[in-house]
Chain A
Amino acid sequence: MTPDTISARITDYANRADPYPLYAELRKTPVLREDDGTYLVSTYYEVRNLANDPRLSNDTRNRPSGYSRTADAEDTGLPPSFIFTDPPVHDRLRETINRPFGPPHSPRFLDGLRGELAKVVTELLDAFEGKDQVDIVEDFAYPLPVTAICKVLGVPREDEPRFHGWADALASSLDPQAGEEGQEKAQRARQELGAYLSDLIETKRRRPGPGILSTLAPDMTPADLEATAVLLLVAGHETTVNAITNTTLTLLRHPDVLDRFQKDPDLAVPLIEEVLRYEPPVQFVPWTTALADIDVAGTTIPKGSPVWLMLAAANRDPKRFMDPDRFDPHRKDNEHLGFYTGIHYCFGAPLARIELHLAVPELFRRVTFSRLLEDPPPYRANAVLRGPRHLPVAIEGLTA
């Protein structure tokens, strides 16, 4: 990648706080070819259709040599996690994991976590008492999803300091700018996190406890389960954190909407969906590969090409959404791509929605905000999993 290409500008940290003008520029060329043969697709219908196109692979092992792959595609002693596989492997793994996670077999599993997670929200907010400033990320948005994913998997919450670094390294490696060094770091992290989870799974095989790792242990090979556990633990880390933080930031930037929301808590449902459109926590998917020549909007993406699907750009495509740069919680027909679409539609979406619906209304019900202390706030380095690293805010009070 030469430094002045549009993908380089998108990954450039200088544009992290507001990449949307770049996305608008990108949409002028719905299918853009970079000099290295990577194709960026940025308009809504094209992104959506490609995400549902069986000629597009999520397995980076299908890329010709010379193109970046994911840590999952390299030999880490673990098979790729299901997000980086295609059917039939993908379908088999996803279906197995879905059994304890959701309907039809476990319709009440996620719902059953609500009580515990609501308690976590309450405790986190109680700790705001007496403070006149908080960091939404550290003090609220990060602890909740981590607790949630630990409960789902049955991983001890107190081990979080151990796996935090590994999860971080793996999440960072999704960013195309991570480079070779980042990929090597991610491979090491995958092995180490895998080893940690492998021990845990082994313990659970002998003595099953709560969480889906215990339920799945008899149904999956140790390697598949380990790879899956690594994926879910990492995915549970930075995505929902960013979603909660982005929602907070967006609301504080739109006092009129916040005012309406506080008068009408039912607005939470469309409001949260609108944030997922407007500031999606996964900005783009840079790991797909064309398995055949694919004609998209008059351009042929040749077989073997890496393809980036620009979800955040598609979410603001004026051909699909009226007045797309406006944050409008009353938006109708909001079929955003915040959770992607097709067979790789976010596995954790139902859990993420539960967390958002527990966290956001309660945060704005109890906390009286005065202002953002930094706008824009400092962002994480990651261009793919985009979100503030910190969100310092001044608060005026806390109600019970």
Chain B
Amino acid sequence: MSADTDVEALRRQGRIVVVGASLAGLRAAETLREKGFTGSLTMIGDEPYEPYDRPPLSKQALLGRARPEDTALPRRRDIDAEWRLGVAAEGLDRDARQVRLANGDTVPYDRLLITTGTRARPWFHPEEAALDGVFVLRTRDDCARLHRKLTGGVSRVLVIGAGFTGSEVASVCRELGLEVTVVERGPAPLVGALGGVIGAVADRLQRKKGVDLRCGISVTALEGDDVGRLRRAHLSDGSAVDVEVAIVSLGAMRNTEWLAGSGVAAGARGIACDAGCRAFDVNGIVTDDIYAAGDVARSPHPLFDYQFLALEHWGNAVEQAEIAAHNMICSSPERRPHLWLPMFWSSQFGVNIKSVGVPSLGDQLVVTQGTLAEDRFVAVYGYRGRVIAAAAFDGAKWMGFYEQQIAAGAPFPPEYGTVDRRTGTLQAVDPGFPDPHLPTHGPTVTLTGHSPSERRVEFVPSHA
């Protein structure tokens, strides 16, 4: 029997299991059916809900303009799946080709798609994290609880971490009329993703909108009262802030722990897969029956020297899922690579922020349109003389153009004239990314090196 006959049998009567019932999982399932997969399809998700959309949870839903329960993802088509919701996958047995669930069940597969995504990084001190008033924001339930709290008469809110989620939450709080203190370890908001130059614009924007922004310091402890309610936060500069609500926005952790011991190349930076979304095993050998897509996946990208690229982006989840689904039920010549250019957006303090490429790779930056002073601009990032990324405040419509510049490896700095270019010569500056060795919540787009298995030699300094 040839490999292609196997594919035909798989399409007709194979068993496909999707672990992770969110955006990527749903779009993959729809694509499988769209492409004629008629076998059995099982969707496994640890939350009790059918797939829902996350971007509104830190914006409209948190603000109360939409209900968190109304963020269910629209269905492109019927997927005729067996849903195993509210139960997490706990293990993977590659020999038996089974996923083990938390309730002890096992689910056999011929092809497995892993879309387990990320979760919010919890507060580092478990007892403090358990205080009433300490929140993270990742899920629908998180959003509903936080919205109730924010509209229930609180006086001051503390946001820990000024990355995109933290900044969006702070923006919503201001819109709700709440006093907000934002504490960011780095020198400015958004600094991990966009660097200090653009971070300074975000900094000014936040202060202009009345945020009590404290950069360059961190929260050292959260203090509760006798009955376990949050009362105060202690900061590394020795000061304290009285707060009833703290939102921990310290970035995301990839949900890969359940794969420990499975032999899949999965770790803290995600699941390594090839450009066709097939997962690698720990020996760097590609599997042919396990695929990964969405926030949990990292795959080599030609624009970035074939380093593995990990992305926490909505658009990436959709496209990678579609490609994974396509490749799962195709013979090898028909498989397609996932070569998506990183792209994400945010909405905060009345400004639309959009970024393409990998800004954090940039070693230089120029403003090509508008000016930083007006909070309306396009900034282009260069890396060794070529355009590697662009970010815009209220200039999203131009991003398609810069995307092409990045894809074409256009020279940096760009010399051409554009509309809204205010200066004759473009002065390149250091974009101001923090030292990568310092801990931060990090950007939502990361190059994670060349090695699929991450078995690295660790440098251990010898003590004298």
CB within 8 Å of B: which residues of A?
49, 52-57, 86-88, 91, 291-294, 303, 342-343
Contact = CB atoms under 8 A, between A and B. Distances in A.
Interface string B413-436: 000111111000000000000000
Interface in B351-399: 368-370, 374, 376, 378, 394, 397-398
Query: Most chain-B Cβ atoms within 10 A of its Cβ — which of A49, A87, A342, A343?
Result: A87
15 contacts: A49-B401, A52-B398, A52-B400, A54-B368, A54-B369, A54-B421, A55-B416, A55-B417, A86-B419, A291-B417, A292-B416, A293-B416, A294-B416, A342-B397, A343-B398
A317 to B, nearest CB: 18
B404 interface: yes
B397 A53 contact: no
A98 to B, nearest CB: 13
A111 to B, nearest CB: 17
A52 B400 CA distance: 7
Contacts of A88: 370, 374, 376, 420
Contacts of B368: 54
- A-side binding surface: helix, strand, loop or mixed? loop
Interface residues of B, number: 18
B404 to A, nearest CB: 7
Contacts of A56: 419
Contacts of A91: 376, 394, 420
A279 B51 CA distance: 40
A72 B373 CA distance: 30
A23 to B, nearest CB: 24
A292 B418 contact: yes
- B-side binding surface: helix, strand, loop or mixed? mixed
- Pairs A-B, 4 closest by C-beta atoms: A292-B416, A54-B418, A86-B419, A87-B420
A63 to B, nearest CB: 14
Contact of B420 (A52, A53, A54, A293): A54
A53 B420 CA distance: 12
B374 A292 contact: no
A296 to B, nearest CB: 11
A82 B376 CA distance: 18
A87 B369 contact: yes
Contacts of A342: 397
Nearest to B374: A88
B419 A291 contact: yes
Contacts of B418: 54-55, 291-292
Contacts of A303: 417
Nearest to B400: A52
Nearest to A58: B419
Interface in B292-336: none
B104 to A, nearest CB: 44
